[in-house]
Structures are given as C-alpha cells and as structure tokens.
Amino acid sequence: MNMARSRAFCLLALFEVALLVLSACGSAGAPPTAANQPSATGAASQAAATSAAVQATQGMTEASTSAAVQVTQGATEAATSTAVQATQGMTKVTTSAAAAGCNIKPPAQPQEVTFLGWPGWDVDTYAKWLDDCNSVNNIKVNVRTMDNSSAVEQMKLAFSSGSASPYAIVHQSNSSIQQNAYKGWLRPLNDLIDTYRSQYNLNDIAQTHWDAATFDGKILGIPMQSNTILLMYRSDLFEKHNLKAPTNYDEISTACKALKSEPGITVPFALDLSAGWAWATAFFEAIRSEGGDFFAQGGNAPAFNSPQGVAALTKLKQVVDACMGTQGLAMGYEQFQAALRNGSVAFIHTWADGGAAMVDPSKSQFPNVIKFAPAAAVEPGGKLAGSAWDDYWSIPASYKGDPDLVFQMIMQVASPERQKEAAKLGLVTRTSVASSSSLPYATAAVETISKGVGAYPKSPALNVMETALGNYLPLVGTGELSPKDALQKAEADYIKEAKTQGFLK
C-alpha cells in the first residue's frame, strides 16, 4: 500500500469511527418523544411509536403536497397502517390469563376489535386485559399504541375518510374527545350504558366523570382513569433549605432562588412549557386559578384577554425567569419527571400519574425522599392550578362492527375487580375503588381535584383557541412578547379563525 492510500485509509477509518461512535451514542441516548398533548394518561411515549406515527403524519403531509386530502386519505391510511405495523408493530400484549378474564358470549360471526390509544400505565395495563378477549371464540383483539398527538391524527384521518372506522375502541382525553364529539365522530353510548348500568354497576363512576364526556346529552366515552397536576418535590432538599412545599407561584419562585445553588441541580423547578399546547394547558390552569376563563359564559367568545389572563401569564413568566430559564423551557414533562428521579431537578408541577415511578426504586434514585403535594395556586388562597382530567374509551360512530360486543369488552377492563388492580398503579374513576386507593399521591390528587380549577372547557372552538394561544404564549417565555401583547395577538387570531370556521359571527 503506498503512502497516499495509507493516508486515505487512516482518514476514512477516523471518519467511520466518528460516525459509529456518534450513531451508537445517539442511539443509546435516544429520548422519548416530545410531542404530546395533555391527557389523563400524561404518559411517557415511545420513540418507536412516534417514529411510525410521524412517518404516517409525514406521509400525509407529503401526500398533501401532491394530492388532495380526500383522495389521498385512503392511500395514507393504508400506508399508515403498514408503517405502524412494520415499524412499530401491533403492540399485542401477550396474555397469561384465560378466558375467565373476558366473560362475554362469543359472537356468531368473527369480529376484529382494534384499539387505538397512547401508552401510559392505564393502556399498558388495560391492554393486557383487553387482550384476554382473544381467548373468546370469534374475537380477535389488536392493540395499537402511539404517542398522543399521533394517535389523535390517526383518528382524524380515519374518521374523516368517510369509510368504516378501522378502530373499534379509541382512547380519548378531555381535549381530544371534544375534537371528535363536535364533528360527530363518536358513537353515543347512552343506550348501551342504560342496558348495562346495573350489570356493570356503572353508577359507581361519579357523575362528574360522566359529565365531562357528555355533549348535548350524549355520553361519548367511558371514563377509564383520572389525572391531575401535583407538586412533586425532593423533601431532603426542602428540609435542608428550611423550605415547605410551595402552595402558590410566589413560593415556587422563592424556593427556586434557594435551590438554584444546590449542587447537581441544573433546573430547580419545571412545569411543562415545552410546546404551544403545553403553554395553553398551563395558561388554562393559571387563568382559572386567577378567576378567569378561556371562553365567555355559554359561548365561543374569547375571555382570556382579560386582567386575570394577563396576571396569570405574568406569574407564569415570573416562574420561568426565577426557576426554568431557556433550559427548563425546552424540557417536556417526561424529561423533567426523569430529571427529578435522577436528581437534576428539585421539584416539579406535573401529571399525577408520573408519581408511581418517583417512588419506584427501580426507576428513581430518590424513592424515599420524593414527596407529593397538591398543585400550587397562582395567588395565595386561590384555586389550585391543577385541572381535572379523564381518559375515556369511546366507540367511533363509523365503526361497522357490533358496538354491543365492543362495549362489553370495554366493561371487562372497567369492571370493579379490574379497577381494583389498576388502582395500585394510578387514579381510577370508580368511586368505590378510588376512595380506598393506597397510592402515595392519592391524597394530594384528591385535594387538587376538589380545590382545583376543574375540567377543561367544552367548546367546538377549543382547538382553534389552543392553537392561537399556542402560537403566542411561548414567546412570552422567551421575552419576545409581553403577556398583554401575546394575549391580544392570540385573541385577534382566534377571532379571525373562529369566524372563518363559523364558531363566531
């Protein structure tokens, strides 16, 4: 080998080694997805699931580059289906249980029941039980999970296509159920609930849960789990600095100043402000805590550009400056939940269902010192800035299979016995079970729900409002807009779009 070749060989070898190291390190550190809308699940998503879903989304977007939505939807769905199955695979949970876990009468004709949802303690657990129905003759169960926003997109594509829904059961949050409810994409369940009310003791699920799933008198989902915002904190650090669990945003800012100097702490406090939707959710909780609201009473007129709105946003900005900085703004809830578990964040405002991992020694470095408190209020004495969220399971209106059978399958998962088991992992909706929960954060969660800001508002224009807010509120965090300017711009955008879409005259 001559000199030139040796040099080329060495340079290439260096290039390849660098490439490999970077690939390997990147792979090892591959994080979960960042793109999630809030849901009662509040769950860690999976990169692989997102991968398939984003490909599907990208496929849709690319298709729309050269094709019309209607024409391409069929192809997109097929491509999506293939991509999801190929890349992600159907998350078919193997079952160890026998048919005893699914006490329903076998249908006369073969029925394929496909569930679409997003991962979390609830779906991870419930899917196994749903899968038990595979042991019933003529029933085939498929479970597909992907991150929340991708699942919501899949629903949009499937339901708007005009053809039969490939999904028999779809996971819903307070936010997504609205998008689907006002479009008429979900089947009213009133008849089935009335038929099976006593058999499955459905009165055991509190009316507040049913109310949140009821639109124009139609119940569109079975409440499967509830969730809210909690304050999770390192009690050892708080004791060391002589601090108490903050009860309002001013106390959060004060605690941050004390904890900033703590070794190993990179961001003292975090709440999810990592995306437009996250800002909209945090702002909803803050403005309600201040006594304001998104919508004017009984309509779609905006009410957020108000003194309460400005005050809420100002307080959020104060917390960002005192506690989070640019680095904290980039952290989604999955990241800062992990950061609390590994010791680089001292306290967080986050979804209650992240609590189980905090005290799990296999997942947390501080299982004995992470404690739970109710969500903080924005102002001293105000409502707690934590909303009440539910996750529902719904049946699409365009599903052509047997809804009675599907309803009974959902009930196998939502039975009191199953819910008792589920209550060891998260907050469930059956009163008899929830009241006896032994979860370490149950007390704090119940207090947040009872003294908090309530459920997300119901409006067909909610999506438009969230988008308008999501476009401008993040710019308050970076200091590019003042709270007042951001709200004015968001209001102008909302009014323009709501008028275009017929929500406002």
Partner 1 sequence: MKRKTFIGFVAPSVILMVALLIIPLVVAIALGFQSFTYLTLNARKFVGLENYQSILLDSRFWQAVRFTFLIIVIVTPLEMIIGSIVALLLDQIPKGRRGIFVSLCLTTYVSVPIVAAYMFRGLFQSDGLGTWIIEQVTGQHLIMNEFAVKMLILAYGVWRDTPFVIIIVFAGLQSLSLEYLDAAAIDGANRLQQIRHVTIPHLAPLLMLIAMIVIMAKYQLFDAIFVLTGMNPIYHADTIMAYNWRTAMELEQLGKANAMSILTVGGLMIVLIPFLVRTWRSQTRER
Q: 483 to 502, contacts with partner 1 by CB under 8 A?
A: 497, 500-502
Among 61, 103, 432, 450, binds partner 1 (CB under 8 A): 61
Nearer to partner 1, 380 or 502 (CB): 502
Q: Is 31 left (phi over 0), alpha (psi -120 to 50) or beta?
A: beta
One-letter amino acid at 208 equals: T
Residue 431 interacts with partner 1 (CB under 8 A)?
Answer: no
Among 19, 78, 97, 164, binds partner 1 (CB under 8 A): 19
Beta-strand ranges (E) seen in 78-168 are 111-117, 139-145
The label of the residue with tokens 């039969």 reads 164
Beta bridge partners of residue 142, listed in sequence order:
114
Q: How far is the CB of 1 from partner 1 (least distance, A)?
A: 7
Among 39, 45, 72, 178, binds partner 1 (CB under 8 A): 72
Considering only the stretches 16-24, 98-106, 244-252, 427-435, report the one whose residues sit in contact with partner 1 under the rule CB under 8 A: 16-24
CA separation for the pair 178, 38 (Å, rounded): 13
Among 39, 41, 45, 55, binds partner 1 (CB under 8 A): 55
Among 122, 126, 141, 156, binds partner 1 (CB under 8 A): 156
CA separation for the pair 334, 312 (Å, rounded): 24
Q: How far is the CB of 488 from partner 1 (least distance, A)?
A: 16
List binders of partner 1 among 159-178 (CB under 8 A): 160, 162
List binders of partner 1 among 80-139 (CB under 8 A): 87
List binders of partner 1 among 21-50 (CB under 8 A): 21-23, 25-31, 33-35, 47-48, 50
Residue 54 interacts with partner 1 (CB under 8 A)?
Answer: yes
Nearer to partner 1, 34 or 243 (CB): 34
Residue 3 interacts with partner 1 (CB under 8 A)?
Answer: no
Among 119, 292, 386, 474, binds partner 1 (CB under 8 A): 474
CA separation for the pair 48, 43 (Å, rounded): 15
Task: Give how many residues touch partner 1 by CB under 8 A.
Answer: 81
CA separation for the pair 440, 460 (Å, rounded): 37
Nearer to partner 1, 31 or 110 (CB): 31
Nearer to partner 1, 278 or 422 (CB): 278
Nearer to partner 1, 196 or 295 (CB): 295
Q: How far is the CB of 480 from partner 1 (least distance, A)?
A: 8
Considering only the stretches 15-23, 293-301, 402-410, 424-432, report the one whose residues sit in contact with partner 1 under the rule CB under 8 A: 15-23
Tell me which residue of 456, 431, 271, 246 sits closest to 351, measured CA to CA. 271
**Euclidean distance between the first and the last CA atom of the chain, given in angstroms as a whole number:** 80
List binders of partner 1 among 249-268 (CB under 8 A): 266
Tell me which residue of 386, 380, 443 sits closest to 246, measured CA to CA. 380
Give every CB contact of residue 165 below 8 A, 6+ residues apart in sequence. 158, 159, 396, 397, 398, 399, 400
Give every CB contact of residue 321 below 8 A, 6+ residues apart in sequence. none
Cβ atoms of 342 and 265 within 8 Å: the answer is no
Tell me which residue of 24, 140, 126 sits closest to 401, measured CA to CA. 140
Give every CB contact of residue 91 below 8 A, 6+ residues apart in sequence. 49, 127, 143, 144, 145
List binders of partner 1 among 432-471 (CB under 8 A): 460, 463-464, 467, 470-471
Q: How far is the CB of 493 from partner 1 (least distance, A)?
A: 10
List binders of partner 1 among 290-329 (CB under 8 A): 325-327, 329
List binders of partner 1 among 363-392 (CB under 8 A): none
How large is the C-alpha radius of gyration of the chain?
24
Whole-Å CA distances, 470 to 54, 57, 117, 490: 20, 20, 24, 8
List binders of partner 1 among 205-224 (CB under 8 A): none
**3-state SS, residue 500:** helix
List binders of partner 1 among 334-363 (CB under 8 A): 344
Cβ atoms of 45 and 119 within 8 Å: the answer is yes
Nearer to partner 1, 447 or 493 (CB): 493
Among 275, 280, 323, 406, binds partner 1 (CB under 8 A): 275
The label of the residue with tokens 């001013």 reads 250
